[in-house]
Structure 1
Amino acid sequence: MSCSEDFLIPNEEAQTICIQQVATSPHRRSTSFTSSIQAANYNRLPMSEALPRKLNSAIRFGDYELDPKRGVLSQNGVPLKLQPQPFRVFELLIARAPNIVTREELSDYVWGDDVYVDLDQSLNFCIRQIRSVLNDSASNPKFVDTLPKQGYRFIGPIPVLPAEPPPPSTGDQSQQSLANRNRRVGDTNPPPAAPNAVALQDPPPHLAQPHRGNPEPPDQPEAYPPRSSHRRLWLFASALALLILAIVLGARTLRSRPLTNAASKITSLAVLPLDNLSGDPTQNYFADGMTDEITTMLAKNSTLRVVSRTSAMQYKGAHRPLPEIARELGVDGILEGSIARTGDKVHMTIQLIQAPSDTHLWAESYDRNVNDIVALPNEAAQTIAKKLNSAVPQPSPQRYISPEAHDAFLRGRYLWFKGMNEQAGPYFRKATGIQPDYALGWAGLAMYYGQGTLAGEIDPRETVAGLEAARKAVALDDSLPEAHLVLGAMLFISPWDWVQADPELVRAADLNPRYAEAYHFRSKMYVTLNRNEEAIQLEKKAMELDPFERPYGLAYTYSEARLYDAAINDVLQRLESQPGDNGLHWMLCEIYRRKGDLKQAAQEWEKATLLSGDKDTAAIIHRTFQQGGYPALLLWRLNDLKQKATKQYVSPVDLALQYAQLRQKEKALSLLEAGYREHSPLLLSIQQDPAYDFLHSDERYRAIIRGTGLPPKY
């Protein structure tokens, strides 16, 4: 169910287009007959009142500033997120202030005649966006006022616009008026302005108030046409009525047709993060979760190439032109919007943009009760796919999902993506507790166990619960790519069974060929099996699909294959465009350490810590290396891990690595054996690390490798 808070023309009211518009553009957007009359009356105003003026510089009103040259609206110097179409609507309202601007005039200015859009939805969306960034409201407006059946007007403090030229001489009046009539905000080469002229002149007394309707015509003697004139008038009126009826029916038909040819050219799409307009930062998880689900449903239910959530999520809160974002993401369509949840009500607005031309193609608003929100992403995705002629046949109806379980899952996934795995776990458990047959909830719980184990934060002996959760997810929904991914991952992590793990990872990629995580984890498994070339190709595929999930991914694979120069070159190349990515600096630290360049490793260790926001620890790293070199850093790290182990689980393999770098053989071997008894998955990668090379000839080390079942690399 769509919502239009600024819908000016009731559905049952006849809609038409004036004769002049029909003659010039048979495929015009439908507007109201009232608006056509209003436009005609508007043109009776003197030119100095009715037409927009060129905005040569920034216009201030209250705390806000509109800069037409830069296309930016800001508040106290801070840019606000207002996309091009709403910006142009607002620009015209300010240029015409305090007069009314009809919906038709706004449509002409923003979209012109060459693009078909749903005028009601598109303008309503623009007005809502303007009011949203200005903290304005339709019921108690401070800046933008709605005048039913007439249009909109700017009612804030009227800004002083740049100077207009003085009135032309009488002989030039008609030509000058025609020139002014054809000007628009932003036109180039305007007539020169008089030095002392002001932009908004006081109107004549009879026009001192904003125009509210048809002006009273001057008194004239009544004229009675002859009888033949009455007959011709009735014939004309009848023809006009038939034409109006045809236009109304045609307009309704157009509204049900697919979008323009421009829309049919959209084959790739990015779903930008939905803005959280609830006014409550704790609802960010909900906005991000709905963005993720719309992205997933579009990828699943259309032939569109949809970029990954992590690639699009980097533009959260970005105030950048949409064509620029689209070029960076390699797409020709952008979906953006906002969502707000207040109590048990949810309001979502989305709009579709053809990126190269920055053309607004479609917009829709949805109002739902919170209990009905689970189905909304799929509904929106199906609508978009149909609009773009890219829908695919729908599978069996979606399974019922409890709103409470769904909300718990969204919270858990939000935290998990932020790297807060420990905090995410309880929400995944809550989701499965509320609804035991919720496949995604079980997949999330398996993700929690897998991530925690690989990070050395969860005792590997607990991963049996993660494997069981993954098996439940697949049993509940065999069509879920995430379920097959986590099952493949847990089979590799827990029983070290790569023979069964591989088909599950392949199945995940088959279900969603653009699922980068499936390729990445398969690459991670292959490099431990000494299948380096295959691992590199798989990671390249993962990076191609999602270059922003882990920018260090390919460098990691190169490093595991001991191709250190290739790994360094890859990181340095990515740092050119992402200099502040601390993950890339951590990766560079690890590569330099494995290559033996310990000074560079220490510098990158310090830099990565600083970029993560820990200035105190970065200072300790710098001072420790200056005083005792890299061995001193290893001892400091050992002490840190031991203190941590008094409060939480720390893998013995993490401790073994520090002793191996210090070449303390006995302690390193003893800790590796402890890791083997725990069945730690961290043992699966020790053959790739040169720190253990000095142990290769030791029988205890070889026994550990044989126990893992991995092919030996010594």
Structure 2
Amino acid sequence: MTLFWRWSRTSRSRRRGLKLEIIFIPLVILMTLMADSYLFLQIKRPQEASIKEIVWKNSLAVLPFKDLSQKQDLEIFCEGMTDDIVNRLASISGLKVVSLASTRQYKSQDKPLRKIGEELKVRHILEGSIQMEGDYIRVNVNLNDVINGFSLWSKRYEMTLKSYFQIEDDIADSVSRELQLQIVEADDSPLKKREPESFEAYKAYQEARLKEEKYRFFRRPEDFEASLRRFKQAIEEEPGYCLAYWGLGNLYESRFVRENRPEDFDLMSKYYRRSFELNPGLAETNLGMGWVYFYLEEMEVSSKYFRRAIEINPASAQVNFEVGSFLRSLGLYSAALKYYLRSIELDPLSLRTYLNSADCYFYVGKYQEACQLLLNALALSPENPRSHLGLVRNYLMMGNYELAEKELNSAQSLGADPSLTRRHRAWLLAARGEKEMALSLIKPGDKLYGYDLTSILARTGKTGEAITNIEIGIAIGFKEVKDFLYSYPFLNTNPFYASLRKDPQFKELLLREKRKYQLKLKKFKYL
């Protein structure tokens, strides 16, 4: 500014003769402005930098530790030690560690290690076993190179239960040395602080987690109550146990999503916030806060917590799955796929990740890719009706009605929800041009704003009703199903909406949703 002021004054007061400064000073100004502009463009706000892709330097699976006790009553310890070692090893930069959710299925199988390595796509496998006598614990571990077929390292530990967590640390350190990788972790790191002082608290927490998983899968109230009781006992044993509070948050979140009870949200929020207060440096506690603000519809705040979780633990299958789920709920399906597909790498036997990834491909019109993931899901669980119904939808979009009917019959024979199979049957009839039959299958009480029913209405010529219910879905979708319905990619690619695209009202709706979609892409591009 000083240079500009001086040049302005000089140029006005000295009109006779051409001075060097008249050329030199503007040139300096120009160079300064260019330099400033360059520096400004190089400076990026931290939240705008994209999450980096991971380059795997090595790969490992930790098989469930075996219970070698006479009473066979050490399941909690075996599960807990396996999970803890996975978490420690996942903190090693460049090491792909397969989730316990995928390795758990090998607990009762007697497969060759080479075959397990092929199925999980890893080079190394860590095996272990646990025995206990009174307050003493004996742990045997063996690290194998499954490609070359030999053992890299093995060790036996015999210590008191007070040294339980020290054993886990030593195993993780030894594995990292053998793989020529490094764990960077101080004694006061957030990962160390996740460990409770009380072993009884740890035991109660592990039991509560197992019950919580059963509740999520079977939806049985008795599993909810058993999990709740053990989480609270863990906290009674150790009031500062942050993961126990996080577990309570997860438990109430799972029921809130299903039943939409405000009191469940309040308790979910209370426990997630408390876990974060106790340890804000854990990926888990940041995930919890992300969901609190998501359900409050404060998406930009929510996204910062999800970003922090992925920064803390980018090699966690769970973290990648939850960040993907956040983006999917926003309607940012392509962005979600980045995290879902990485989650599949880390948890290759996770049915829910294949299904959610297939949904994302479906919503962006990539039906072949969706079908491939659904077939993978069926290979994991042949009798899962959701996979068959997913194939029905994709085959309908592709115009392959014969395969759609075959998959629909399979879903029905496997006990799929009758209301779902009825609506999918109506969708198939509408696609085949059997309008009256299709419309006759729509019953009072059906949510007309659903994707299936708006597709049926559009195909049967009920343009006004279809558009009205799409608008309703956009308006109330988040409140009803915790997702933002009718994101632009789905509206733009769904072939059943072809007739709607000629309608001026739909054109206006499509343009509005495109603008919203582009704004979301800009806001959340750093994820």
Provide TM-score, normalisation by structure 1: 0.49
1:487 is aligned to 289
Give the letter aligned to residue 106 of structure 2: Y
1:428 to 208, 231, 234: 231
Aligned counterparts of 1:596 and 1:504: Cα–Cα separation in 2: 41
Q: 1:441-478 CA distances to partner (integer Å, 9 max, x unpaired)?
A: 12222222333344x24435632322332222222112
Q: Which residue of 2 aligns with 1:323?
A: 114
SS of equivalent to 2:107? coil
Counterparts of 1:653-692 in structure 2 under 5 Å? 679-687=479-487, 688=490
1:332-375 CA distance string (max 9 Å, x none): 32111222457655433221222223222332233455565355
Q: CA deviation at 1:545?
A: 3.4
Q: 1:438 maps to what in 2?
A: 241
Counterpart-to-counterpart distance in 1, 2:123 and 2:424: 50
The percent of aligned pairs where both chains have the same amino acid is 23
Cα RMSD after superposing both structures = 4.8
Describe the SS at the equivalent of 2:315. Answer: coil
Q: 1:668 to 1:343 in 2, by over 3 A?
A: farther
2:357 is matched with which residue? Answer: 554
SS state at 2:321 partner: helix
Question: Which residue, out of 302, 312, 326, partners 1:511?
Answer: 312
Write the distance in 2 (CA, Å) between the matches of 1:364 and 1:384.
11
Q: How many residues were matched structurally?
A: 424
Displacement after TM superposition at 1:381 (Å)? 1.7
Q: What is the distance in 2 between the residues matched to 1:296 and 1:328?
A: 21
Q: Structure 2 residue aligned with 1:567, among 356, 370, 377?
A: 370
Distance change >3 Å, CA 675–CA 412, structure 1 → 2:
farther
- Structure 2 residue 361 is the aligned partner of structure 1 residue 585: no
Instruction: Give, in angstroms, the shift of residue 276 of structure 1.
Output: 2.8
In the alignment, the residues of structure 2 paired with residue 661 and residue 443 of structure 1 have an alpha-carbon distance, to the nearest angstrom, of: 40
Counterpart code for 1:447: N
SS in structure 1 of the partner of residue 111 of structure 2: coil
Which range moved further: 374-383 or 576-585? 576-585
Three-state SS of the structure 2 residue aligned to 1:362 is strand
Q: Which has the higher contact order (CA 8 A, sep 6+)?
A: 2
What is the distance in 2 between the residues matched to 1:446 and 1:630? Answer: 43
Deviations along 1:4-28, whole A, 9 cap, x unmatched? xxxxxxxxxxxxxxxxxxxxxxxxx
Structure 2 contact 408–424 (Cα < 8 Å) conserved: no
Task: For residue 485 of structure 2, give the secondary structure of its aligned residue in structure 1.
Answer: helix
1:355 aligns with 2:155: no
DSSP 3-state at the match of 1:679: helix
Structure 1 residues 543 and 670 mapped into 2: Cα distance closer, same or farther (>3 Å)?
closer
Distance across 1 between alignment mates of 2:426 and 2:360? 33
- Which letter does structure 2 place at the counterpart of 1:469? Y
CA displacement 1:272-325 (0-9 Å, x = unmatched): 111233466775344223211111112225764322223333433222221232
Q: Is the 8 A contact 1:575 1:584 kept in 2?
A: yes
Residues 351 and 590 of structure 1: CA distance in aligned 2, closer, same or farther (over 3 Å): same
Partner of 2:60: 269
Q: Is the CA contact 1:529–1:710 (under 8 Å) kept in the aligned structure 2?
A: no
Structure 1, 350-359 or 377-386: larger mean CA deviation: 377-386
* Rounded Cα–Cα distance in structure 1 between residues aligned with 2:369 and 2:84: 36
Give yes or no for contact 1:350–1:363 (8 Å, CA) kept in 2: yes
The structure with the largest helix share of the pair is: 2
1:85-164 correspondence runs (5 A): none
- Check whether the contact 1:498–1:525 (CA below 8 A) recurs between aligned residues: no
Q: Which residue of 2 aligns with 1:308?
A: 99
Q: Specify the code of the residue in structure 2 equivalent to 1:684.
A: F
Q: 1:374 to 1:685 in 2, by over 3 A?
A: farther
| 1:297–1:381 Cα contact (<8 Å) kept | yes
Q: Matched residues in 1 for 2:383 and 2:131: separation?
A: 31
Q: Which residue of 2 aligns with 1:499?
A: 300
Give TM-score scaled by structure 2 length. 0.64
Write the mapping of 1:171-186 to structure 2, written as runs, cut at 5 A. none
Alpha-carbon shift at residue 514 of structure 1 (Å): 0.9
Shift in alpha-carbon separation, 1:269–1:533, aligned structure 2, 3 A: closer
Q: Secondary structure at the match of 2:171?
A: helix
Structure 2 stretches of 5 or more lacking a match?
1-56, 431-436, 521-527
Aligned partner of 1:293 in structure 2 is 84
Shift of 1:484: 1.4
Structure 1 pair 622–298 and aligned structure 2 pair: CA distance change class (3 A): closer
Q: Secondary structure at the match of 1:350?
A: strand
**C-alpha spacing 1:546/1:621, structure 2 compared with 1 (3 Å):** closer
* Distance change in 2, residues 1:330/1:673 (3 Å): closer
CA shift, 1:662, in A, is 7.2
Take 1:547 and 1:674, find their aligned partners in 2: how far apart are those partners? 36
For residue 580 of structure 1, give the secondary structure of its aligned residue in structure 2: coil
Q: Which amino acid aligns with 2:308?
A: R
8 Å Cα contact 1:308/1:546 also seen in 2: yes
Which residue, 293, 309, 333 being the options, matches 2:124?
333
| 2:8 equivalent in structure 1 | none
C-alpha contact 1:602 1:625 (8 A) present in aligned 2: no
The residue aligned with 1:448 is 251
Q: Distance in 2 between matches of 1:681 and 1:460?
A: 14
- Deviation of 1:498 after TM superposition, in Å, equals 1.7
Residue 434 of structure 2 aligns with which residue?
none
1:412 to 174, 183, 208: 208
Provide the residue aligned with 1:463 in structure 2: 265
Supply the AA of the counterpart residue of 1:438.
Y
Q: Distance in 1 between matches of 2:428 and 2:238?
A: 55
381, 385, 401: which is aligned to 2:197?
A: 401
Match status 1:521 vs 2:322:
yes
Alpha-carbon distance between aligned partners in 2 of 1:684 and 1:358, rounded to the nearest angstrom? 50
In 2, Cα distance between equivalents of 1:606 and 1:712: 41
User: CA 1:587–1:669 in 2, change beyond 3 Å: closer, same or farther?
Assistant: closer
- Partner Cα separation in structure 2 for residue 343 and residue 483 of structure 1: 34
Q: Kindly indicate whether the alpha-carbon contact (under 8 Å) linking 2:329 and 2:483 is maintained by their aligned counterparts in 1.
A: no
CA contact 2:67–2:73 (8 Å) conserved in 1: no
Summarize the Cα distance change of 1:401–1:561 in structure 2 as closer, same or farther, 3 Å threshold.
farther
Uncovered stretches (5+) of structure 1, i.e. residues with no partner: 1-265, 643-651
Q: Which amino acid aligns with 2:144?
A: I
Separation in structure 1 between the aligned mates of residue 474 and residue 338 of structure 2, nearest angstrom: 33
- AA aligned to 1:562 is G
* 1:661 CA displacement: 7.0
CA contact (8 A) 1:470 1:487 kept: yes
Question: Structure 1 residues 448 and 680, CA, compared in 2 at 3 Å: closer, same or farther?
Answer: farther
Instruction: Report SS of the residue matched to 1:366.
Output: strand
